[in-house]
Amino acid sequence: MLDIVGKRGWYFLVSVLVIVPGLISMIIAPGWITGDSGLKAGIDFSSGSVMNVTFRQPVEEEDIRNRLNELGHSEALIQRLGGTNFFIRTEVLKEAIGDQPSEREVIESSLEHFLGMERDRVEFDTVSPIVAQETVKTAFYALAAASVFILFFVWYAFRRVPKAHRYGVSAILALVHDLLIILGIFSILGRVINLEVNSMFIVGLLIVAGYSVNDTIVVFDRIRENVSRSPDRDLGTMVNLSIMESMGRSLNTSITTLVVLLAMLFIGGNSIRELLLVLAIGAVVGTYSSIFIASQYLVMWDRGEIGRFFRRTPAATATMLWHLIGR
């Protein structure tokens, strides 16, 4: 049988190597240290410009989209308001700098020249974000609160096995791990290829959170069953056995989920690409963390390796000092 538990140090190393660059990208300016989110906010979360335009002849939404894409505004939301009247939301358009005309000017003349927009009937103004910042905060507070509830639920559900609270803590650890990886990846992509996050990203994160814990508990259930059957055996051996026994299921489930998501990602329209990307990363990372993070953390905790690890770090020294002063 494959010895998965034996190589547990490596999995943490791999995760750290993925998470740390992402974290750095989230923190450095513009990021958490400057009070920003660390992600590139898309049109849903930021103020923007609105144009209400009318054309002299019939125009398709697609024509306008192509024009705006050419001018570098692929984020534009275009809606027909009936007839040849269109409502276009974009990011805040840049003012004129030196000889360069303002972006508004460029867009208007392009639409006038190619599509016959009526220049003197343009209504232009700024708009507030579609999704309020509060909504995003709500989502994160809610996730934090949900984690606490799940911790206690898992503790309760595993009450028959020794040290049940550790299962709860490990499940939450895996959840935080998954969310950090996704946030990190999107933060880096935002810096590298200008990938913006919109409300779909938040939706994806919430769904992944549900999936991550779900998957972890399935693996834990197997450990619960094996441990209660032979309580005297070493936890590491039991965890390894449980992982091997449930490997078929873990792979099949993530494969089927990925198949649907990838099919939609490649065949489907642009519209939910962002959501699908989050879900696909989430499906992979969620399965990975159930086996290689949550379960291994249980073993490390059981063998006192976490304490030992922290004792070697300055943080642990600080903790010890704190305790000494406290006395």
Partner 1 sequence: MRSRSIRLSISIILILGIAIAALGFKDINIDIPGFPRIERDGTGPLGLKLGLDLTGGGHLVYQADTGTKFEFTFADEVPINDLVTTLQDLRFGDDDDELEGLQVIPISLNKYQIRTDILSDDDPRRTGLNDALVEAHGPITLFETSVIDKPTVDQMKGVLDNITGRVNRFGTEEPIIQIFGEDRLIVQLPGASGSVTEILFAEPDPQADPPAPEVDIATELPRVLAEAGYEDFEIDVRDRLLYRVRSNTVSNDIQGRALTALITKIGPVAQFGVTSGIDDAKALIGQTALLEFKERTCSDSSCTTFSDADLGLTGDDLSRAEASTNQVGIGWVVNLQFNGRGSDIFSDLTQRISTAESQLTKRIAIIMDGRTLLAPVARAWIRDGRTVISGNFNREEARSLAIQIESGSLDVPLKLIQESDVDALLGSESLKNSLIAGLVGLGLVFIFMIIYYRMAGVVAAFALVFYTIIVLAFFKMIPITLELAHIGGFILSIGMAVDANILIFERMKEEVRIGRTLASSMEVGFSRAWPAIRDSNISTMITCLVLLWFGDRLGGGLVTGVAISLFIGVAVSMFTAVVVSRNLLQLMAWIGLGGKINLFTPESLPRSNQEATPAPAARGGS
- Which residues, 234 to 273, sit near partner 1 by CB under 8 A? 245-246, 248-249, 252-253, 255-257, 259-272
Closest C-alpha among 51, 125, 46 to residue 91: 46
β-bridge pairing 123-127 and 48-54: antiparallel
CB 202, min distance to partner 1, A: 6
Q: What residues between 149 and 168 interact with partner 1 by CB under 8 A?
A: 149-150, 153-154, 157
Which range of residues in 95-103, 274-282, 293-301, 318-326 is near partner 1 by CB under 8 A?
Answer: 274-282
Q: Which of 25, 187, 199, 295 binds partner 1 (CB under 8 A)?
A: 199
Residue 30: is the preceding peptide bond cis (ω within 30°)?
Answer: yes
Contact 64, 80 (CB under 8 A): no
Cα–Cα distance measured from residue 206 to residue 213, given in angstroms and rounded to the nearest whole number: 11
Q: Is 217 in the site for partner 1 (CB under 8 A)?
A: yes
Structure tokens at 269: 């329209």
Angle between helices 199-229 and 133-157 (to 10 degrees): 10
Q: Is 172 in the site for partner 1 (CB under 8 A)?
A: no
Task: Decide: helix, strand or coil at residue 87.
Answer: strand
Which range of residues in 4-12, 13-21, 93-101, 205-213 is near partner 1 by CB under 8 A?
Answer: 205-213
Which range of residues in 8-16, 125-133, 189-197, 316-324 is near partner 1 by CB under 8 A?
Answer: 125-133
CB 153, min distance to partner 1, A: 6
Contact 174, 293 (CB under 8 A): yes
What is the b/e burial string over 165-184, where b = at least 16 CB atoms within 10 angstroms of the residue's CB?
Answer: ebbbbbbbbbbbbbbbbbbb
Q: Which of 118, 221, 302, 305 binds partner 1 (CB under 8 A)?
A: 221
Please count the residues of this chain forming the interface with partner 1, following the rule CB under 8 A.
83
Structure tokens at 44: 């849903």
Q: Which of 28, 139, 164, 176 binds partner 1 (CB under 8 A)?
A: 139
Q: Is 127 in the site for partner 1 (CB under 8 A)?
A: yes
Q: What residues between 28 and 57 interact with partner 1 by CB under 8 A?
A: 50
Contact 49, 127 (CB under 8 A): yes
CB 92, min distance to partner 1, A: 13
Output Rg (C-alpha) for the chain, integer angstroms: 26
Cα–Cα distance measured from residue 73 to residue 68, given in angstroms and rounded to the nearest whole number: 5
Q: Is 228 in the site for partner 1 (CB under 8 A)?
A: yes
Which range of residues in 31-39, 73-81, 98-106, 107-115 is near partner 1 by CB under 8 A?
Answer: 73-81
The residue type at 149: F
Q: Is 81 in the site for partner 1 (CB under 8 A)?
A: yes
The residue type at 117: M
What is the b/e burial string over 300-311, where b = at least 16 CB atoms within 10 angstroms of the residue's CB?
Answer: bbbeeeeeeeee
Q: Is 142 in the site for partner 1 (CB under 8 A)?
A: yes
Contact code string over 295-324 relative to partner 1, x by CB under 8 A = ------------------------------
Q: Which of 35, 58, 82, 98 binds partner 1 (CB under 8 A)?
A: 82
Which range of residues in 99-107, 185-193, 199-207, 295-303 is near partner 1 by CB under 8 A?
Answer: 199-207
